[in-house]
């Protein structure tokens, strides 16, 4: 049997970078290290470039990075493959990506999911041990880092491309693993769309689907004997202001592969970077509580009606923010005044109908995206 370990988001910055520079990494990962040492291969989601570059790309949201030397942590965790298709890997442009590749290459660590252009970014990573062959496909939802042409970036989530990649790979290997960076941040369930798409990957030939990006643990299911994990949560991702919250919990999993046999599954839960800069393996009552919570999520995922209801409730919570973004109000105060009802809605009903059709219709959306992104 070949055992492969997977984790959620890994970004060795802030206190982890400080602990690394102080030589304390062994202590930081002391309780979880045995898990990684028991695997034939470990795959971590590298959620940031490892670079000293200051050349930020233009985007919404934060820019994050870690020192190139922190790549040593991956070796400490027996990690020889990182998934790089995510919404932060290109935060510092091609310069940051190249520096990351150099660091990984210098420590004999492979990567999948990004590259100098779409052709490189979309390449499948093949790996073999004990005459068992694997293919890894890594994709990310389309934000600021994905590429579809000659520009550097990450492998975009495109159903046709993923289908073709799975079809090609499954004729060459025993197992195809799709790693997806997507979902709704801080929401503990997949959307009905995600469930449909991730199951489609299995229908196309994937042996397992591993998800991350939401920064919190989600549920999972076994669909046609293939495990689908909708989000493993964070593995090592420090963030000031988000301590002692679901952000600081994660799931690490071990999948066991044998030819002609059902994939086996083991999972553990971790607490990461709460009051102390450590990644700790959970035990006892705290572990039982998370297992119970995940079991409840699993039940919801299997119930299409309930899953839809939960997602509608979640989207309702976003209505005030989304409606504010649609308004032309800008600056520090005007959007806040609008949300409080002190400024009027400037977008007419007919204009909202137009926006709906421009976004919903594939042909209109193609033109819209090309139009708003053209430089004047």
Please state whether beta strands 234-237 and 2-11 pair in parallel, antiparallel, or not at all (unpaired).
parallel
Spatial distance between the Cα atoms of 32 and 362, rounded to a whole number of angstroms: 45
Percent of the chain with pLDDT over 70: 99
In sequence order, the β-bridge partners of residue 176 are: 135
pLDDT exceeds cutoff 90 at 374 = no
Kindly report the number of other CB atoms within 10 A of residue 234's CB atom.
Answer: 31
Spatial distance between the Cα atoms of 236 and 68, rounded to a whole number of angstroms: 16
145-169 pLDDT, tens per residue?
999 999 999 999 999 999 999 999 9
In sequence order, the β-bridge partners of residue 236 are: 10
Q: Which residues contact 132 (CB under 8 A, 6 or more apart)?
A: 2, 174, 175, 257, 258, 259
pLDDT, residue 39, reads 98
Distances (CA, A) of 316 to 243, 319, 320, 337, 360: 26, 5, 8, 20, 19
Per-residue pLDDT band at 376 (split at 50, 70, 90)? very low
pLDDT exceeds cutoff 80 at 186 = yes
27-59 pLDDT, tens per residue?
999 999 999 999 999 999 999 999 999 999 999
Domains of the chain: 2-302 (3.60.21.10), 307-372 (no CATH)
pLDDT, residue 372, reads 85
pLDDT, residue 176, reads 98
pLDDT, residue 375, reads 55
Instruction: Tell me how many degrees the CA angle 196-201-204 measures, rounded to the nearest 5.
Output: 120
302-317 pLDDT, tens per residue?
999 999 999 999 999 9
Backbone angles phi, psi at 42, to 5 degrees: -125, 135
Of the listed ranges 193-197, 248-252, 339-343, the least confidently predicted one is: 339-343
Spatial distance between the Cα atoms of 42 and 177, rounded to a whole number of angstroms: 13
Q: Which residues contact 336 (CB under 8 A, 6 or more apart)?
A: none
Q: Which residues contact 207 (CB under 8 A, 6 or more apart)?
A: 175, 176, 177, 226, 257, 263
Kindly report the number of other CB atoms within 10 A of residue 241's CB atom.
Answer: 6
pLDDT, residue 332, reads 87
Burial of 233 (0-12, 13-18, 19+ CB in 10 A): buried
DSSP secondary structure string for all residues of 11-61: E--THHHHHHHTT-HHHHTTTTHHHHHT-SEEEEEE-S-B-----PPS-SS
87-140 pLDDT, tens per residue?
999 999 999 999 999 999 999 999 999 999 999 999 999 999 999 999 999 999
Spatial distance between the Cα atoms of 121 and 97, rounded to a whole number of angstroms: 12
pTM of the model: 0.96
Calculate the dihedral angle through the C-alpha atoms of 273, 274, 278, 282, rounding to the nearest 10 degrees: -110
pLDDT, residue 265, reads 98
Q: Which string of b and e fits 152-182 if b means at least 16 CB within 10 Å?
A: bbbbbbeeebbbebbeebbeebbbbbbbbbb
* Nearest Cα to Cα of residue 53 among 125, 103, 7: 103
Give the SS3 label for residue 87: coil
CA 250 to chain CA centroid, nearest Å: 13
pLDDT, residue 251, reads 98
DSSP secondary structure string for all residues of 111-164: EESEESSHHHHTPPEEEEETTEEEEEEEEE-SSSSB-SSSS-EE-B--HHHHHH
Question: Are 153 and 120 spatial neighbours (Cβ–Cβ below 8 Å)?
Answer: no
């Amino acid at each position: 049997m070949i055992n492969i370990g997977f984790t959620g988001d890994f970004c060795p910055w802030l206190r982890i970078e400080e602990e690394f520079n102080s030589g304390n990494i062994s202590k930081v990962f002391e309780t979880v290290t045995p898990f990684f040492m028991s695997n034939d291969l470990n795959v971590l989601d590298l959620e940031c470039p490892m670079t000293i570059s200051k050349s930020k790309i233009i985007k919404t949201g934060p820019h994050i990075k870690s020192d190139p030397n922190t790549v040593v942590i991956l070796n400490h965790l027996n990690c020889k493959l990182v998934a790089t298709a995510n919404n932060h890997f290109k935060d510092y442009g091609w310069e940051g990506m190249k520096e990351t590749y150099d660091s990984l290459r210098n420590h004999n660590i492979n990567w999948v999911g990004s590259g100098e252009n779409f052709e490189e970014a979309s390449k499948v990573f093949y790996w073999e041990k004990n005459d068992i062959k694997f293919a890894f496909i890594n994709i990310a939802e389309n934000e600021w880092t994905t590429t579809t042409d000659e520009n550097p970036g990450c492998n975009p989530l495109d159903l046709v491309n993923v289908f073709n990649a799975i079809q090609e790979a499954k004729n060459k290997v025993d197992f195809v693993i799709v790693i997806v960076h997507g979902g709704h941040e801080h929401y503990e369930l997949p959307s009905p769309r995600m469930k449909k798409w991730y199951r489609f990957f299995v229908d196309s030939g994937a042996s397992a689907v591993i998800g991350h990006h939401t920064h919190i643990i989600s549920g999972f299911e076994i669909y046609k004997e293939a495990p689908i994990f909708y989000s493993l949560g964070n593995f090592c991702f420090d963030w000031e202001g988000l301590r002692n919250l679901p952000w600081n919990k994660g799931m690490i999993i071990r999948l066991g592969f044998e030819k002609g046999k059902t994939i086996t599954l083991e999972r553990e839960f971790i607490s990461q970077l709460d009051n102390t800069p450590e990644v700790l393996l959970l035990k006892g009552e705290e572990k039982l509580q998370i297992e119970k919570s995940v079991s409840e999520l699993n039940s919801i995922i299997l119930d299409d009606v309930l899953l839809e209801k939960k997602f509608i409730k979640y989207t309702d919570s976003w209505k005030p923010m989304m409606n504010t973004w649609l308004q032309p109000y800008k600056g520090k105060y005007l959007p806040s005044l609008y949300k409080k009802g002190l400024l009027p809605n400037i977008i007419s009903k007919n204009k909202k109908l137009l926006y709906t059709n421009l976004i919903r219709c594939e042909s209109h959306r193609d033109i819209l995206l090309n139009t708003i992104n053209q430089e004047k």
